[in-house]
Amino acid sequence: MPSSAQPPRHPSSTAEARDDEVSLTVVGIDVGGTKTHIRAVDTTGSVAEIVVPSAEWRRGSLFSDDDNFARLSSAVHSLGAVASDTVVVAGVHGCDTDEQTMLATTRLRSLLNAEVTVVNDALLLHHATTIRPTIEMIVGTGAVISGTTATGARVTVDGYGWPLGDKGSSHALVSAALRATLDASDKGQVDQDTLFPAMLSSFDARNAAELAERSASNAGGASWGRHASVVFDQAEAGSRVACDIIDRAASELADGVTHAVRRGAVGRTVVAGGGVIVNQPGYEAAIRGHLERVLPGVELLVVRTPPVQGAVQWARELRAALAERSVVGS
């Protein structure tokens, strides 16, 4: 895999490290719908990381090809020597049930021969701050909301993927804009809002038929999601339809938080991350406003640091706990 940062050179990154070798102490992995970010810290304190499209190692869905885990493990090995006491925390888009996280944990643990914890990627945001407890919200190519009950059970809202869910995501925004454009064409109203010709142009389509064909032939979370900037740009330019789409999506995300709270999720802070909410201040403000409306007193905190940092921090906490237990047991 191509690397965005030059990894440290180690004697062996595919075998368990010897005592005299430099080895990785902690590894954080953030697997999103669009990209995968891996950050590793070795015994000298050096940090190495790679950021690659998730499609480079993932064929189909996460569990549709067992070699997906082998390719992800190879990416970790490329950053340095993995030892038996290396602690890996992976937040993985697509791990939504206990069964899925257990399966992913087992596969990565066997491939890496290290201490591995796999969780849904939204949970990384919980460890990106010192606030406890929190409700987590990811708004990027996909969208998911999660929280924890007073008894420690996980509660998840949406995150069902682009064909069926991910309300408020970049894909959902573009999907709404495409439907609005096609509907306007049917009514002969394409010239009544700037969003409509902008969507045609974005997909290099001359008319509604071409727009439908070109969008359908390239359907997908990431492929549609990259056009979300058109919706935001047109909203800033005064498009009423674009503003309505954004406001409706923000309301759906706020409603998702209320569903999590009604199901027992605790916390008065929603910790949010993901490329869309981080890079679109107007959208952030709309989500904040709807949260204040439906859940007065609940704060929205947008995490500007990469979610992988939450994975690294969590791995450090687990490594410290393992070391403490080792001392107590000796």
Position 13 scores a pLDDT of 39
Read off the pLDDT of each residue in 207-223 and give the average, rounded to a whole number.
92
State the pLDDT at residue 328. Answer: 64
C-alpha closest to that of 218 among 207, 226, 206, 230: 226
> Which pair of structure tokens corresponds to residue 294?
């439906």
Q: Give the pLDDT of residue 25.
A: 97
Structure tokens that stand for 59 in this block: 């064929």
The CA distances from residue 270 to 117, 127, 148, in Å, are: 23, 13, 12
Residue range 258-287, pLDDT digits in tens: 999 999 999 999 999 999 999 999 999 999
Query: Which residues are within 8 A (CB) of 43 and not within 5 positions of it... i.e. 6 or more apart?
Result: 22, 23, 24, 25
Both structure tokens of 138 = 């990811």
In this structure, of 6-15, 48-57, 83-92, 149-158, the range with the lowest mean pLDDT score is: 6-15
Q: Which residues contact 232 (CB under 8 A, 6 or more apart)?
A: 242, 246, 280, 282, 283
Round to whole Å and give the CA distance between 82 and 22. 9
Alpha-helix runs per DSSP H in 95-227: 98-112, 170-186, 195-202, 208-217, 221-225
**Which residue segments constitute the domains of the chain, with CATH numbers given?**
24-125+307-329 (3.30.420.40), 129-304 (3.30.420.40)
pLDDT at 139: 95
pTM over 0.75: yes
Strand order in the sheet with 82-92: 47-53, 35-42, 24-31, 82-92, 115-120
pLDDT at 329: 63
pLDDT of residue 36: 95
pLDDT of residue 15: 41
The type of residue at 234 is Q
Whether the CA torsion 293, 295, 299, 300 is positive or negative: it is: negative
Q: Both tokens of residue 168? A: 């408020």
Of residues 11 and 147, more confidently modeled = 147
Average pLDDT of the chain to the nearest whole number = 90
Average pLDDT, integer, range 197-205:
97
pLDDT at 243 over 60: yes
Residue 222 pLDDT greater than 60, yes or no:
yes
Side chain identity at residue 47, one-letter code: V
The answer to whether 146 touches 260, Cβ cutoff 8 Å, is yes
CB 283 within 8 A of CB 276: yes
Query: In the chain, which ranges are continuous DSSP H helix?
Result: 67-77, 98-112, 170-186, 195-202, 208-217, 221-225, 228-236, 240-262, 275-279, 281-294, 308-329
Q: Give per-residue pLDDT as tens, 14-25.
A: 344 444 589 999
pLDDT greater at residue 285 or residue 154: 285
Q: What mean pLDDT is predicted for residues 299-324? A: 92
Percent of the chain that is helix, strand, coil (3-state, to 5): 45, 20, 35
**Range ranked top by mean pLDDT from 51-65, 71-85, 216-230:** 71-85
pLDDT score for 330: 58
Burial 133-155 (b: 16+ CB within 10 A, else e): ebbbbbbbbbbbbbbbeeeeebb
Quick one: average pLDDT of 25-31?
Answer: 97
Q: How much of the chain exceeds pLDDT 90, in percent?
A: 75
Q: What are phi and psi of 268, to 5 degrees?
A: -115, 10
Q: Which residue is it, tokens 């190519």?
A: 141
- Other Cβ atoms less than 10 A from the Cβ of 222: the count is 19
Task: Tell me what pLDDT residue 327 has.
Answer: 67
Residue 55 DSSP label: G
The phi, psi pair for 24, rounded to 5°, reads -80, 135
Which of 12-21, 46-55, 75-84 is least confident?
A: 12-21
Nearest to 300 by CA among 247, 264, 245, 253: 253
